Structure formats: C-alpha cells, structure tokens
A = this chain, B = another copy of it.
Amino acid sequence: MMHAPMASADHAPAPPVSFETSPARYRHLRLEIDGPIARLVIAIRENEGLRPGYALKLNSYDLGVDIELADAVQRLRFEHPEVTCVVITSGQEGMFSAGANIFMLGTSSHAFKVNFCKFTNETRLYIEDATENSGQTYIAALNGTASGGGYELPLACKEMYLVDDRRSAVSLPEVPFLGVLPGTGGLTRVVDKRKVRRDLADIFVTLAEGIKGKRAVEWNLVDGIFPTSRFAESVAARAKEIAGAGRPSRKGVVLDALDPVVTAKSITYRHVTVTFGPQLRVAHVELRLPQDMPEIPREASELGASWWPLRAFRELDDAILRLRVNHLDAGILLFSTRGRIADVLKLDEQLEKHAGDWFVNEVRHLMKRVLKRVDVTSKSLFTIVDEGSCFAGSLFELSLASDRTYMLSDGPKIALSVMNGGALPMGNGLTRLQSRFLAKPEHALEMASRRGELTAAEAEELGLVTASVDSVDWDDEVRLALEERASFSPDALTGMEASLRFAGPETIETKIFGRLSAWQNWIFQRPNAVGERGALSLYGKPESPEFDWNRT
C-alpha cells in the first residue's frame, strides 16, 4: 500500500538498536549533579544520529537521544537518590529543542515511527513517575524555543519556565507543518493535564509559530516567564526551593551494564532468556529465579544492582524493548518462569516489609514500570505455567498481563501475594486483578488477599488462569493456540489487544497509549502525511504538499 520508497523503508534490515547506555557514553545529554539538584542539559550533536541520513539540527532528537534521556531518568532514581529536583534545559542558545527530527521521521518505516513514539511516551511518563514517586521533581527551563516534541518534554515536567526574550515560544506545529499529530502525548497533556481551554488549545496547536510571553502564561502553556537577564537565577532559585536539603544520607546504587549475549536465535541475560521459535513468530521469554536470594539488610541499597528483582526486571525491560524494535516479526511473546514459588513469596514479603526504604521503593516502581511496558507492547502475550515454574505474586503479574494463560493441570502451582494488591498498578490505575475481575470487584479483593499455593484446577475455578490442560493434551493445545494466533492479521491483533487489555477507567496514560496513539498511527498511514506528496514526506523541500481534501 505504501509507495515504493516507503515500502522499502518498511522492510530495510535496519541495524538492531541497543537500549543500553550510560552517562560516560552520552553524546547528546550532559548530566550535572550539584547536591540535591541535577541539571540535564540537552546539547544534541547534529551528526551523531542513530541512523544515517539526517542531521539533528536545532536540538532535534531521534531514538538515540531518547535512549539517553530514558537512561538518565532511570539512573537519577537509582544512582543519585540524593537529588530532589531535576532541571532540564538546553545547551543551545535560544533553542530548547525543535522536537523529533522530521527527516528521521520522514525516512522511517511506519513500524519504527510507531515504536519510536511509544518509547518516547514511556520516557515522558517515567519523568512524571519520578516526580510523583521518587521525590525527584522535574522542571523545564526553556532558555529558548520549545517546539513539537521539544515542548512535549516540558509538558511532562512538573513545572516549566520560558525565557521572555520576545523570540522564544512554545509550539506544537505538527498539524500545520507536517500533517501529523504531536505524537508524544502533547494533545492529551495540553487539555487533560494542563487543562487548557479546548478552543485555545485548538488555536495553539494550529499556530505554527507558537505562543510566547504573557499569553503563554495566561493560557497555562507555561508556569512562568522570566526575562533573559534574570532567567538563569530565577530558575535556579525555584529549583533550590523545590529541592530543599535533598537527601544526602542516601547512597546511590550504580546500575551496571546488562550486556546480553545476542545471537540470531536468542538473547541471553543473567536471569532472562529470549529464544526465537521453534514455533513461527513466537519469542519465548523465560525468567529464572536463582537458588538463593539474600534477605534485605537494614541498608537495602547494599544489595546493589545485582539484587535479583532489580537486575531481572531491568533485563526483562531491555528484552521487551529489543523485541519491539528489532524483532517485528516475533508477534507472540510466550512467558515462562523457572524457580521456587516459596522464594518468590519470600521476596514479595520482603519487598512489602521494606517498602519504606528508598531503594526498595525504587525497585518496586521499576517492576511496576516494566510490567506497564509489557501491557502496552503490541505483541500477543501468552503465559505457560508448566513444571518448574514459579508464577507467584509479583511474577504472576506477568500472567495477569497476558492475553491468555495456559496451566498444566498436573503438577505446577501458582500463588498470589501482597504484591498483587496494589504495588504494581496498570496504567488505568487498577491492579491487574481488578482489571481481570471488572465484573466482580469483591472477587478481585478476595484474590488479592488469598494466600497459599493453588493447583491448576483451583486457579481455573477462581478465574486466575485461562485454561488448565492435562499433560496428555498439553503439547498439542499450546502448539495449536500459538499456531492459530500466529495466523491472524498482526494489525487486527494490535487493535484488538489494545482494546481488551484496558477495560474500565481511563487515565491520561491510557488515553495517550490508546486514543492518541491510535489516531496518530492512522495518520501515519495516510497519504496526506506519508505519501509521496504528503506533508511529512515533503517537509523541508521546496514543493508544497498535496492533500486529498476529503474528510474522513
């Protein structure tokens, strides 16, 4: 359906993307820590884009930049727990950021654009999560124009301040310039988070040059403006006010590299292995619990980055990201676990008992974020509970996140723990048990406090697994289910799963991944944006786009 150049972009074997980085390797960001205040300086190197073919001018970004941003946000929580205020600003005079690079978008495949937007959305949500749950308040110091994604990043901060220099503006010019939407939650955050009046929002998002000065404050597009001469000191004063004394007693935990072994057939981490096949389009994701896990000491952070829940969930996170971007054809993730249920339950107990400890709190929130990443992954998610598995408590959330769970009837058990009761909510604000039992909230509550191991028959009876299958039928039934799933249209599955996974209430987060992303994906397919004469394709070229004027 796509024109030839696009079609080839869709199928060109792009080099695999790694999501691992560290401050020493950053090319585009500078992370400066000064007591309780961190400064994240965006200083993007034009010629060091992730892929060839575009220059990252005007502090515009690509996935490579966003991988650094995601890394910085994560490391600030674990490695710099003393920090209580993070100031995001620009290293370029007069330009905060021009947003996602248009030439990168214009030359990317549809799937890459969609995955890029999803990842940037997750990172923006993590900034909000850090502000809310780690006491690291993000403020944006817009020392120049913030345009498109360059404004969506400050929208994710708790506060933003704009320099009042008669030039610098905030803008979302995607509709007038590119014929697409602000793709990183912009429209939703403007009317739902900042609650800008809808007709003013309508003007704002159709005004290519954006809005500056007092009007930006009046419309609640920014929280304040300062003249150039007082900008740096005013922002610094506000940061100091927010930061307070910081938390100097906390000792950070350095996140070591995951460095998986990647082959054509597998991705192997310390506790997680992804194996492709043997079934067509299936990636088998196995999590393994070690034989021994230490108790949480008085100073929990002494456990370090090797502590199982931290390391294993970071590995799972990295695996999910690689599967999304580098393995488009692996349409089904098959989750399994290996270990002892008793060990998971003991771990969960400890995670709950020490929830007040900053490091344990961070690990719990990391687990929550990784599970949310699973929830919004556009792949079918199946869990198999077989012999030797340990789907209990926090690990059972993987099964609850799955579209289906098959459990071997003779042998394995599952169990629930305190961690199923609210520590790991979905994006819609419900626990996965509440989402599952929307028709029976009292049953969800009862399950959340249910203790003890459950057989397959019990689990099926309680509605906790989809099907209990005996060993005679097991191989065939699982194989047939996977084969059937692998035969369906991948697009229909994406829309279907997005609809079935998020019943019940909606939040800004689910609106971004559900409604806004779905509209953007539609627009990203339309000739008016990505056709040969579409606005996105022709951006920066002398020709004007040609639109099909029919409204749909």
Does A404 lie within 8 Å of B527, measured CB to CB? no
Instruction: Point out the residue from B192, B378, B547, B552 that lies within 8 Å of A378, measured CB to CB.
Output: B552
- Would A484 and B198 be within 8 Å (CB), given that A1-B527, A495-B181, A552-B494 are in contact? no
Does B521 lie within 8 Å of A437, measured CB to CB? no
Stretch of A26-34, A68-76, A300-308, A508-516 contacting B (4+ beta carbons < 8 Å): A508-516
Residues of A526-546 at the interface with B, using a CB-CB cut-off of 8 Å, are 526-531, 535, 545
- Residues in B with CB closer than 8 Å to A51 are none
Q: How far is the CB of A546 from chain B (nearest CB, A)?
A: 10
Does A491 lie within 8 Å of B523, measured CB to CB? yes
- Would A202 and B522 be within 8 Å (CB), given that A175-B492, A515-B515 are in contact? no
Does A404 lie within 8 Å of B506, measured CB to CB? no
Instruction: Point out the residue from B437, B519, B550 that lies within 8 Å of A498, measured CB to CB.
Output: B519
- Residues in B with CB closer than 8 Å to A550 are 10, 111, 328-329, 490
A120 contacts the other chain (CB 8 A): no
Does B466 lie within 8 Å of A206, measured CB to CB? no
- Would A496 and B205 be within 8 Å (CB), given that A198-B501, A466-B199, A522-B522 are in contact? yes
Decide if the interface of chain A is mainly helix, strand, loop or mixed.
Answer: helix
Pick the most buried of A10, A187, A201, A518: most chain B CB atoms within 10 A of its CB: A518
Does B489 lie within 8 Å of A545, measured CB to CB? yes
- Residues in B with CB closer than 8 Å to A3 are 1
Q: How far is the CB of A366 from chain B (nearest CB, A)?
A: 25
A174-217 contact mask (Cβ, 8 Å, vs B): 1 or 0: 11101111000001101110111111111101100000000000
A493 to B523, CA, bound (A): 10
- Residues in B with CB closer than 8 Å to A523 are 489, 491-492, 495
A402 to B478, CA, bound (A): 52
A261 contacts the other chain (CB 8 A): no
Per assembly, the copies of the chain total: 2
Q: How far is the CB of A155 from chain B (nearest CB, A)?
A: 14
A463 contacts the other chain (CB 8 A): yes
Q: How far is the CB of A326 from chain B (nearest CB, A)?
A: 11
A2 contacts the other chain (CB 8 A): yes
Q: How far is the CB of A528 from chain B (nearest CB, A)?
A: 4
Q: How far is the CB of A407 from chain B (nearest CB, A)?
A: 12
Does A203 lie within 8 Å of B439, measured CB to CB? no
Q: How far is the CB of A442 from chain B (nearest CB, A)?
A: 13
- Residues in B with CB closer than 8 Å to A48 are none
- Would A491 and B526 be within 8 Å (CB), given that A379-B551, A500-B201, A501-B198 are in contact? yes
- Residues in B with CB closer than 8 Å to A499 are 181, 187-188, 191, 515-516, 519
- Would A495 and B520 be within 8 Å (CB), given that A439-B220, A489-B535 are in contact? yes
A403 contacts the other chain (CB 8 A): yes
- Residues in B with CB closer than 8 Å to A328 are 549-552
A114 contacts the other chain (CB 8 A): yes
A190: nearest chain-B partner, CB-CB = B500
- Would A438 and B488 be within 8 Å (CB), given that A515-B499, A549-B281, A551-B379 are in contact? no
- Residues in B with CB closer than 8 Å to A527 are 1-2
A230-254 contact mask (Cβ, 8 Å, vs B): 1 or 0: 0000000000000000000000000
A520 to B496, CA, bound (A): 9
A227 contacts the other chain (CB 8 A): no
A7-20 contact mask (Cβ, 8 Å, vs B): 1 or 0: 00010000000000
Residues of A145-196 at the interface with B, using a CB-CB cut-off of 8 Å, are 174-176, 178-181, 187-188, 190-192, 194-196
A136 contacts the other chain (CB 8 A): no
Does A463 lie within 8 Å of B198, measured CB to CB? no
Q: How far is the CB of A109 from chain B (nearest CB, A)?
A: 9
Does B491 lie within 8 Å of A552, measured CB to CB? yes
Does A176 lie within 8 Å of B488, measured CB to CB? yes
Top-3 shortest CB links A-B: A179-B489, A518-B518, A495-B519
Given A10-B548, A111-B552, 18 more A-B residue pairs with CB atoms under 8 Å apart are: A1-B527, A181-B499, A187-B496, A192-B438, A192-B503, A194-B439, A197-B437, A198-B503, A202-B496, A206-B485, A331-B551, A491-B528, A492-B528, A492-B529, A495-B520, A514-B515, A522-B522, A525-B526
Interchain residue pairs with CB less than 8 A apart (10): A111-B550, A114-B552, A191-B438, A206-B488, A489-B547, A498-B515, A514-B515, A518-B519, A518-B522, A522-B525
